[in-house]
């Protein structure tokens, strides 16, 4: 039970659900606040507190008023995301839901136990709640991004930010950092494997045109992670965040038509338009990825190991090998150099890297290579990789000349937060907000009562 309790706590905030007793529910399930069209229950505040307590290493006591303001701020963002017609990706949401469910299953061992643990009637109910939460989280994130999208900082603002920290004695310390480059060799399916996939999709297309259910065929054959939830169905517009090939197929068909097999970065698809509603289309698709046999995987690995040996022997430089061999277009055009997605810089703080990456890099000196290792992308592309430690910077106290990009990011974060706070002040005045009970008497940062 200790394991279950620990695991349970890890996901409570995501689910927005706690297994409280019936008596507790009766006591706490009153409406604490309304923000726009979003209701906040007293039980939501209890859940939030329990989540914080379960995660904290030491006992923490955050006032209910502070928690309420945080929840109201999230609901305010969600409310205005809808007003601002923020679009979120059904594909991404469905994929995240399925990944979450798979994680639950891997931890607990059985999906029925997962459903029972969280108190839902069945798996569809759990999926529905996860989908609602993932959608709201996506709306909140996109609305926040839109609010601060145009915020920039000038060099003068960065210098002032650094000087202010230095004068206060608040300069941070940075851990060991590395700059890395990579060579990637993908394991490609054979022409026969690709053709077999296309033939399979053509057969499914013929069956559907002959009267078979596209939904059932999707459930049986599609490798789209969201298919179990939606039977391959999505509602899209030309602005939706689907890959170009998917949208081109969707908007080239009439109602009821099934596309020819087409390729995207995810694999091969067929698509049927079920309904056209103005600028929207209800479509259903099937995704199948060509199988890659062990021989192709072994060949990719052996090729990269041979390249590694050539580099070590001095027969070719790493940069030359990138240009000659690497399949990763994004890094191949930059001599293989990796860019930190969080900072836009080429430096990675070693202790903030993933566990697997840390193990590969920790202990290597500048100019040394990792072993060849396997990786599979989110799109299902199987590949082998090799990394070079181009530069290694030891732990040090922050310095503007060495860490300019970091201070640029920190100053930008601060300025974005200030812009966001001004947005809250403005939007609260234009939004219906109602507080009940003890939450009327809180000393909030923003003027929720007006």
Residues 317 and 183 in one domain: yes
Does residue 170 lie in a domain region?
no
Q: How far apart are CA 108 and CA 256, in angstroms?
A: 42
Does residue 449 lie in a domain region?
no
Q: How far apart are CA 109 and CA 96, in angstroms?
A: 19
pLDDT digits (tens, 9 = 90+) for 152-198: 999 999 999 999 999 999 999 988 999 999 999 999 899 999 999 99
> What distance lies between CA 86 and its chain's CA centroid?
17
- The domain boundary, picked from 259, 288, 317, lies at 288
- The domain boundary, picked from 288, 312, 340, lies at 288
Is the model more confident about 304 or about 232?
304
Is the model more confident about 46 or about 383?
383
Residues 351 and 258 in one domain: no
CA 81, 85, 88, 91 torsion: positive or negative?
positive
Measured CA distances, 62 to 69, 236, 308 (Å): 12, 42, 54
Residues 24 and 122 in one domain: yes
Q: What single DSSP character describes residue 48?
A: H
Does residue 156 lie in a domain region?
no
Residues 182 and 241 in one domain: no
Residues 179 and 213 in one domain: no
Residues 138 and 211 in one domain: no
Residues 275 and 311 in one domain: no
pLDDT digits (tens, 9 = 90+) for 352-397: 888 898 999 998 999 999 999 999 887 788 999 999 999 999 899 9
Which residues span the domain enclosing 57?
Answer: 2-149+428-441
The pLDDT of residue 228 is: 66
Measured CA distances, 38 to 299, 447, 449 (Å): 55, 18, 16
Q: What single DSSP character describes residue 370?
A: P
Does residue 402 lie in a domain region?
no
Residues 54 and 11 in one domain: yes
For residue 95, the domain's CATH number is 1.10.4030.10
For residue 356, the domain's CATH number is 3.10.50.40
Residues 106 and 220 in one domain: no
Residues 211 and 313 in one domain: no
- The domain boundary, picked from 288, 314, 344, lies at 288
Does residue 312 lie in a domain region?
yes
For residue 222, the domain's CATH number is 3.10.50
Claim: this prediction has a pTM higher than 0.85: no
Does residue 422 lie in a domain region?
no
* Structure tokens belonging to residue 180: 């890395």
Does residue 408 lie in a domain region?
no
Locate all alpha helices (DSSP H) within 210-293, ordered by sequence. Answer: 214-221, 227-230, 244-250
Contact 398, 407 (CB under 8 A): yes
Residues 204 and 224 in one domain: yes
Residues 19 and 130 in one domain: yes
- pLDDT tier at 11 (50, 70, 90 boundaries)? very low
The distance between the two most distant Cα atoms of the chain, rounded to a whole number of Å, is 76
Does residue 31 lie in a domain region?
yes
Q: How many domains does the chain have?
A: 3
Q: How far apart are CA 299 and CA 112, in angstroms?
A: 41
* Structure tokens belonging to residue 204: 């499914």
């Amino acid at each position: 039970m200790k394991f279950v309790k620990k695991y349970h706590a890890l996901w409570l905030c995501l689910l927005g659900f706690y297994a409280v007793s019936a008596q507790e529910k009766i006591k706490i399930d009153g409406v604490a606040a309304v923000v726009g069209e979003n209701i906040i229950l007293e039980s939501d505040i209890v859940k939030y507190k329990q989540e914080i307590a379960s995660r904290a290493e030491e006992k923490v006591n955050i006032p209910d008023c502070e928690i309420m303001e945080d929840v109201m701020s999230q609901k305010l963002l969600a409310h205005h995301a809808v007003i601002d017609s923020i679009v979120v990706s059904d594909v991404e949401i469905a994929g995240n839901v399925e990944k979450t469910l798979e994680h639950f299953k891997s931890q607990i061992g059985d999906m029925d136990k997962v459903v029972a643990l969280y108190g839902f009637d069945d798996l569809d109910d759990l999926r529905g709640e996860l989908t609602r939460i993932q959608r709201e989280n996506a709306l909140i994130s996109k609305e926040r991004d839109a609010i601060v999208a145009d915020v920039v900082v000038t060099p003068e603002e960065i210098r002032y930010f650094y000087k202010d920290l230095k004068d206060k004695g608040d300069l941070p310390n940075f851990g060991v950092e590395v700059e890395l480059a990579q060579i990637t060799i993908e394991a490609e399916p054979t022409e026969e494997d690709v053709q077999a996939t296309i033939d399979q999709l053509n057969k499914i297309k013929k069956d559907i045109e002959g009267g078979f259910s596209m939904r059932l065929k999707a459930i049986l054959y599609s490798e789209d992670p969201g298919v179990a939830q939606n039977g391959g169905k999505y509602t899209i517009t030309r602005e939706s965040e689907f890959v170009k090939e998917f949208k081109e197929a969707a908007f080239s068909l009439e109602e009821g038509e099934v596309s020819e097999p087409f390729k995207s970065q995810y694999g091969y698809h067929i698509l049927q338009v079920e309904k056209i509603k103005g600028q929207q289309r209800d479509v259903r698709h099937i995704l199948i990825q060509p199988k890659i046999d062990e021989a192709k995987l072994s060949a990719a690995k052996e090729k990269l190991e041979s390249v590694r040996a050539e580099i070590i022997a001095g027969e070719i430089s790493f940069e030359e090998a990138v240009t000659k061999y690497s399949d990763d277009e994004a890094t191949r055009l930059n001599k293989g150099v990796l860019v930190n997605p969080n900072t836009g810089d080429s430096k990675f703080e070693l202790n903030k890297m993933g566990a697997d990456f840390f193990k590969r890099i920790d202990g290597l000196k500048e100019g040394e290579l990792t072993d060849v290792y396997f990786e599979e992308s989110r799109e299902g592309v199987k590949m082998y990789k090799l990394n070079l430690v181009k530069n290694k910077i030891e732990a040090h106290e922050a310095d503007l000349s060495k860490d300019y990009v970091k201070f640029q990011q920190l100053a930008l974060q601060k300025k974005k937060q200030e812009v966001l706070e001004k947005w809250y002040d403005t939007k609260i005045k234009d939004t219906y907000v109602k507080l009940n009970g003890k939450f009327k008497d809180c000393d909030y940062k923003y003027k929720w009562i007006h």
